[in-house]
Structure 1
C-alpha cells in the first residue's frame, strides 16, 4: 500500500488533536499561511490538509473567516429499530443462519450493515437508464434476441480496456460474460474439478463459496489469511506437497470479510508456486476496482503465463448489482468453460450487457468510479470513527485499503452469533464471524459493510450495536 502524502499526515495530526479534545468544537484553526509555516510545507499542501478534513466533515470553511472545528453533535435522537417482529427462532448451522438472515434482512426498517455493496444512492441510475434507452432505440431487434454465448462483443472489449486494470493484456475473445460473479465461480469449479476433489480456500472467506463447494461435492482445505500479515505461502506449499489439490480460490484484492489485499509481489509468487504444481487458481477480483490508494492493485491473472488462472469479476460492486453482469477469463480452460455455460444458462441477458457497454462508450464510467472510490473511502473512515466512539474498549477494527467491509474483533467473552440474533431482533443486520469458515473459529468476530453513507439512522444503529456488545461483555 502507498505511503500517505504529506497533507494526509498533517490532516491526520490535526484530527488526532481534535479527537483528543486539545482542539475543541467551535475553535478556529490557524490560517493556511500560518499552517504552512508551522509545518514547513507549501501553501498548497497546507490547503490540501484542511480540505481533507472538510471533506471528512471534521472542520468547516467559513468565507472570509477561516477554518473551524465542526460540532459533531454526539446526542443522537433514538431511531425506531423495527422491533415489530420478534425473531425467537435461532436455527443451528451455518447454512440455516445464512438462510434465516436473508429471509429477514429485507424487512422494512432494517438498518442495513450486512450487504457488501454500494448503496443505491451511490449508483448512476439515471445515466444507466439513459444508456439502456439508447441501446434499445438503436438495436435492430430491441435486444430481444439471444446474445452470443461468450457475451456482448462491445462489452467484452470494454471489459478488457477498462475493467481489468492496466496489467492484464487480454483479447476480448478471452472474456466470457456471465450472470454475475457467483455464476463465474460456479462454472469455473465445474470446469476444472469433479466431485471428491479437494479445493484450497482462504480462511476466513466469503460464506457463499463454502455452500457452492459443498453442493458440488468438493472437499475444502482452509489456509489462514491474516488481515494484516496475509497469506502464508510456506504453509500453502506444504499443503499442495502433501495433499492432492485440484484448485485454489482466493479473493486477491480486498478480501471479504477481512479486506486484505494480497501484495503484488506475493501474487506473483503465489501464481508461480501453483503453476509449478500445475494447480489452477480461481481468482475472485470483484472488489479490485474499489481501491483507496493511488493505483489499482494488480490481479494474479496479470502474472499468469500458463493460462492456469481463471479470473472472475462483475459490475455488481461498481455499477449495477441488479443487472447481474459478471465475466470470466478462464485461460486455457475456455472451451470447457463454454461447454459448461451452454449446459446451464446458454447466454446472459442482452439488454443489460448492451446498456453497460453503452455506459462505457459514453465516457460515464471513469467519472462514476472515481467518485465512488472517494465516497466509499470516506465512509470507511466515518464508520471506523463511529465504531471507536460507541463500541467497548479493546474492540479491534480492520483498516482496509479498498472494498466495502470492516472485520471487527470483539472481546472474547462475546458470542457474535448471539449478537447477530439480538441485533436482527432490534432491526440491525450484520454477519457473525463464524459463518466465514467451515472450521470452528471467529466466534467473537462480526462483519459490517460501509456501503451505505453514514447518516443518523446508521449511527444510531451502530450505537445500539455497541450497546449490545457492552451488555454481552458485562454478562
Structure 2
C-alpha cells in the first residue's frame, strides 16, 4: 500500500498528549499546561495547540472549565474500577454462552434499518469504482490464471505485495512468511488449530471478538477470560497468574483497536507479552484486522513487529476497508508455518486466485491509501456525532470509554440501564446495536454497548437521532 502523507501537526501533538494521558504521565483530573506554556514546551504555534486540545476534547480525553483551562477527564481513572471482574473466582474457566443475533439482523435488513452492530463497512463507503477498474484490468491481462486454483500457501503475487506492505510498516517480511486464507476469521480459526490441541486452554482478553468465542469452543479448546482495564500492568499480572494456575497454552491478543473496546496496548506492554510467551512457551494468536484504520497520527505497530522468535501467528485482512464480501485474509504464522498450511489446506485445499490477485493489485495502488483516508474522515464525523449526542444526554448520560480512535465505539451505560434492554428497544426502532454481553462467556458487560462507526455519516446521524429518543424500555435492569 502506498504511504500516506504526514499527519497534520495538531494530530501529531494530540497523539503525543493522548499517549501521556493513557500511560498515566498526566494524571486524571490534572490541569493541562496553559496555551502559552504549552506552546513553549512543545514548540508549536497557538493554532496548532488549540486544534490539538479541541481534538482531545472531542475524543473525551480532556474537558474545558470556564476561565480555568483544560483538564484531563477522570473517566480513565474510573474505568479501571468500572470494568467488571469475577471477584470470587476472578480467573475461573467458563463455558461457552451463545447469543445468536443473525435472525434479528436479517429482519432488520429486510426492513432497511440501520445496522450499527455488524462490523462491515457501509456499502456507500466501499471503493466500488476502484475495485471494478482493477478487476477489469486483471481479467483482461490473464483470465486463465484467475480461473486456475492455487494449491500452495497462497497466490505468490499477493504474498509479495503483502511482504512489501509489511516492510513499509517496518516489519521484516518476505513472501514465504505468509499463508493466505478465506478471510481473517478463517485465519484465526486455523491459527488456533495450528498452535494448540483439543483440550488446551487459551487465554483471551475480554471483552473480545464474539465469533472467536464460538470458534474456540467448537474446536474443543477451553477459554479463560482476562478482563481488560485501564491498568495494563495489572492486566498483565492477571495473565501471568492465569498461565501459571491453569496451564495456558496460547493467548489470543488483539493489541491494536480490539473489538469491541478499542483500547490498544503500548509498545512496552507488547514486549512484556512476548517475554511472557517466551518464558512459558506460549503461542500468541494476533487479530490485527482493525489496526490500519486508527485515527492516530501514526499507524499502530502490531505484536508481530516485536516478535523475534516466531511465536506470533499474526492474522489480518482488508475486510474493514475493501468490504467483508472479499474473502481474502492471511496469516504470518512464524514457527507454526507448516502446521498452519496443513490446517488451511483441510478447509481450503485450493484457494481462489482472482480475489487474491485483486487484493495484490489494490495493495500496490495509491488509490487504496486515499480510500483509507476517506474512511478515517467518515469515522471522525461519526465520532463527533456520537460525542455530541452523548454530551446532550444520549442514553441518559452514557459515556465513551474507547479512546484510541477507530471503527469501534465502546459506550458505557449509567447504572440501571441494561445493554440487552437497549438492544431490544433499538431493534423496535429499526436500529441494531451490539449489547456488551455478547463479548464474554460469563454474565459481563451488560453495562456497555458497541457501535460500529463504519457507517455512512448521514445514516449514522439518523440512527443516533433515533437512539436519542427516550423510552422506558431502555431503563430495564
Same fold (TM over 0.5): yes
Question: Measured at CA, do residues 382 and 308 of structure 1 come closer, stay the same or move farther in structure 2, by a change above 3 Å?
Answer: same
Question: 2:291 aligned to 288, 291, 311, which one?
Answer: 288
Question: Measured at CA, do residues 238 and 369 of structure 1 come closer, stay the same or move farther in structure 2, by a change above 3 Å?
Answer: same
**Does the alignment pair 1:441 with 2:441?**
no
1:4, CA displacement in angstroms? Answer: 8.2
Correspondence list, 1:242-253, <5 A:
242-253=245-256
TM-score by length of 1: 0.78
Q: For the residues of structure 1 that align with 2:158 and 2:393, how far apart are their CA atoms? A: 45
1:44, CA displacement in angstroms? Answer: 7.8
Correspondence list, 1:158-173, <5 A:
158-163=161-166, 166-173=169-176
Structure 1: unaligned runs, 5 residues or longer: 10-34, 58-92
Q: After superposition, what is the alpha-carbon deviation per residue over 1:323-370, rounded to whole angstroms, capped at 9, x for unaligned?
A: 111100010010111111111111322111111212233432222223
Q: For the residues of structure 1 that align with 2:470 and 2:216, how far apart are their CA atoms? A: 34
1:263, CA displacement in angstroms? Answer: 0.8
Q: After superposition, what is the alpha-carbon deviation per residue over 1:64-116, rounded to whole angstroms, capped at 9, x for unaligned?
A: xxxxxxxxxxxxxxxxxxxxxxxxxxxxx952433433433422321121122
Aligned to 1:46: 47
Q: After superposition, what is the alpha-carbon deviation per residue over 1:184-208, rounded to whole angstroms, capped at 9, x for unaligned?
A: 0010111122221111001110111
Q: For the residues of structure 1 that align with 2:323 and 2:381, how far apart are their CA atoms? A: 21
1:442, CA displacement in angstroms? Answer: 1.1
Question: Measured at CA, do residues 459 and 94 of structure 1 come closer, stay the same or move farther in structure 2, by a change above 3 Å?
Answer: farther
SS in 2 for 1:418: helix
Aligned to 2:30: none
Q: For the residues of structure 2 that align with 1:223 and 1:43, how far apart are their CA atoms? A: 41
Q: After superposition, what is the alpha-carbon deviation per residue over 1:4-63, rounded to whole angstroms, capped at 9, x for unaligned?
A: 839988xxxxxxxxxxxxxxxxxxxxxxxxx99xx9999986399689999xx9xxxxxx
SS in 2 for 1:467: coil
Aligned to 1:461: 463
Aligned to 2:10: 5
Aligned to 2:238: 235
Larger mean Cα displacement after TM superposition, 161-170 or 183-192: 161-170
Aligned to 1:430: 433
Question: 1:317 aligned to 316, 320, 337, which one?
Answer: 320
Question: Measured at CA, do residues 141 and 5 of structure 1 come closer, stay the same or move farther in structure 2, by a change above 3 Å?
Answer: same
SS in 1 for 2:180: strand
Correspondence list, 1:31-70, <5 A:
46=47
Contact 1:113 1:428 in 2 (8 A): yes
Aligned to 1:351: 354
Larger mean Cα displacement after TM superposition, 105-114 or 444-453: 105-114
1:295, CA displacement in angstroms? Answer: 1.1
Q: For the residues of structure 2 that align with 1:229 and 1:4, how far apart are their CA atoms? A: 28
Root mean square deviation of aligned Cα = 3.3
Contact 2:288 2:316 in 1 (8 A): yes
Contact 1:419 1:468 in 2 (8 A): no
Q: For the residues of structure 2 that align with 1:343 and 1:454, how far apart are their CA atoms? A: 41
Q: For the residues of structure 2 that align with 1:163 and 1:237, how far apart are their CA atoms? A: 30
Aligned to 1:19: none
Contact 1:178 1:348 in 2 (8 A): yes
Q: After superposition, what is the alpha-carbon deviation per residue over 1:365-405, rounded to whole angstroms, capped at 9, x for unaligned?
A: 22222332333233222222223324145412124323311
Contact 1:165 1:296 in 2 (8 A): no
SS in 2 for 1:238: helix
Q: After superposition, what is the alpha-carbon deviation per residue over 1:396-423, rounded to whole angstroms, capped at 9, x for unaligned?
A: 2124323311111112212211221121
Q: For the residues of structure 2 that align with 1:46 and 1:294, how far apart are their CA atoms? A: 17
Question: Measured at CA, do residues 42 and 260 of structure 1 come closer, stay the same or move farther in structure 2, by a change above 3 Å?
Answer: closer
TM-score by length of 2: 0.78
Matched length = 411
**Does the alignment pair 1:135 with 2:138?**
yes
